[in-house]
Chain A
Amino acid sequence: MPSDARSLRPRAEHFVAPLEETPLQAVDAVDTTSAPRSMWGEAFRVLVRNPVFIVSALLILLVLFVSAFPGLLTSQDPTYGVLGRANQGPSAEHPFGTTTQGYDVLARTLYGTRTSVTVGFFTMILSTLIGGTLGALAGYLGGFFDAVLSRITDIFFAVPLILGAIVIGNRVDHVTVWIVVVVLGVFGWTNIARIMRGAVISVKNQDFVTASTALGASRPVILLKHVIPNAIAPVIVTATVNLGVFIVAEATLTFLGVGLPPTSVSWGGDISAAQNALRTQPMMLFYPSMALAITVLSFIMLGDAVRDALDPKARKR
């Protein structure tokens, strides 16, 4: 019971705010004016206001356009090499000059985009499918499955992506783009699996999953309709960054001579060839390297922007 004995308040005033200044509102009234906002809609609104996203998206569009229609930007054939025009500087006909083999540097850089984007894109799809499936199953089923699948993931994680690919690449006689995709995909899914597993575990313990169980949804239905849609966002972020990593990996393998054969057009192969003429023809190294750097950077920037949009908590302020 309150006692007024120890109060030093001079007198007990009782203040009441005039009602016109503090009008009462209905309890928990519904705001029917604003437009509906889904999580993806919200994320998109954040994205389009992010300059990092705008810049990276424009660069990626450019890269995609070049890889789709490299012939629109140059009339030269990237595989036509004439020793008679070797080691030329920039000219109207060859704006980036020519290589020691007499190839047109601009044409090779443009056509090389297609190889890199193909490898990066399909490897990303393959590794996300493998890693996403295994990670989701491990996280959702838990127990014994989780233990086994997680150890398998650890084993693959212990093999460096490049090392694994070098070993396989050395055993295969004629390496094509698709072999590179499979090899990189098989060794590059582990981080996706780990992220998917963690996200699935955190989602599957939420009340709405329990509510669906109690509504009568079966376990596969819950996994596909509730758990994966809610766990996919961090996987998308990682997959976008991975795309850049796989492009670098392909270039590295080709540079080392265990990737695509010298007959194919690839930035990695061009960089490898250019290092012999580094002192005399530095621009030969510069163009494919720049193309590689810009492409990879734009995918990594896109990943960052998507992360910011999907997970505001990870945003650094």
Chain B
Amino acid sequence: MASTTILETVEDSSRSLPFREEIDEHRGHPGIRATTFSYGQINDDMLEMLEKPHPSYFLLVLGFLSALLLGAVSLAIQVDVGIGNSGISHPIAWGFYITDFVFWVGIGHAGTLISAVFYLTRAPWRTAIYRSAEAMTVFAVMTAGLFPLLHTGRPWLAYWLIPYPNERYLWVNFKSPLAWDVFAVTTYMSVSIMFFLLGLVPDMAILRDEARIRGKILQAKIYAIFAMSWRGTNHQWIHFMRGYLIFAGLATPLVFSVHSIVSWDFAMASIPGWHTTIFAPYFVAGAIFSGMAMVMSVLIPVRIVFRLEDYISNHVVDKVCQVILFTSVIVSYAYATEFFIAWYSGSPYERAVFYFRPFGHMATWSLTGDQPVSFPLLAFYLMVFCNVIAPIPLWRKKIRYNLVSVWIICGLINVGMWFERFNIVGSSLQRDFHPYNWGEYWPTLVEVGITIGSFGFFFTLFALFMKALPPMAIMELKEAAEPPMRKGNHEH
């Protein structure tokens, strides 16, 4: 079957797409039309995305900046007044801030998974989306990193977390998971930023030369700084590709280790509902689940606005949805396992916490009952609905090929995953071992403001990235495309 015929088949109808296509790297990928484009066309398409934006872009950025401003004002109040201004108090010492931290670290995982793990497994559908996903990783981890600092109450003393020789001969306790977190998150952020910047170098050289071709001298000079004298010689490529492979190899264990270490912040404590061995894989699956959903939430509008259906094709969306579906099943299984183990352990404390999560207080629960719906209760049902029930339609291929449906489902997953994090952080602390140590938690406006601000921070950075840097890896798109051959494409 000629490749063009297959392409038309994929774009027009998902019904006749064969279960597994034969992929000839010299003839492009049957599900991604851009792999049949010429190198020049790929350059032109990517540069078009960096042209002067439509006024609606500025409106969008203004919206994100407003959210960021709200967050900044809330942050200023929080730092000025102190941590007592939040809803965090004994016995609930971890509230919105740690929820936000865990949520944002999780969002970052999809980028590393796509850029590193799927690079090593040679998944061709990752090419068009990995740069944006990687940028999301960097921005998400930057956002996440703010919360533990804020949560300490005195962020100006954050350097105490770093082991350094001091006049009191004190060192950080390396047996504490909080110290592990410092190392895990800073390593993850550093490696993600380096990996991201490394991949950008050849693309900056493309932008430098294209700006020169178009007579934009100032732009060319700016891009030249970041291109670092890149010329595309075989010596440069050989070291670059080897370095890229090593970075992918180094980033791959980070995908699994970072959220495992974050999960041990909880699992190492003896609090009922936290002290379980399932937490590491449960957190990692949840992180990939939420990260992939965020990638789709952001890239589906990008595809529509920039008309990128040849790059972010239905085939690509389908593959991401399959990963979402897979991780959704793992997460659902983990939820069920938590309840089963609570019952099977015979521990009254574990049982009580897992009764508390769906049914509220220990008293008999009724729809119109004698107690208001508590925040953890809301969190639990939103978590189950958004993470277990909402992704079920993705089992149907027709739904996976419907962008609106995918976008709505992914939006719900993002909501559900935030509430899952809250469900873990908040509800366990409300019902400790001893009734004397029980309490309620409601966030204050400052906490809500900072949470909204974190979304503003993330989306502002992403919107600026979309217009300042190539949102797709031009070099890799070319590598995936058919090379120009005088004698036609054939195996070498």
Question: Do these two chains interact?
Answer: no
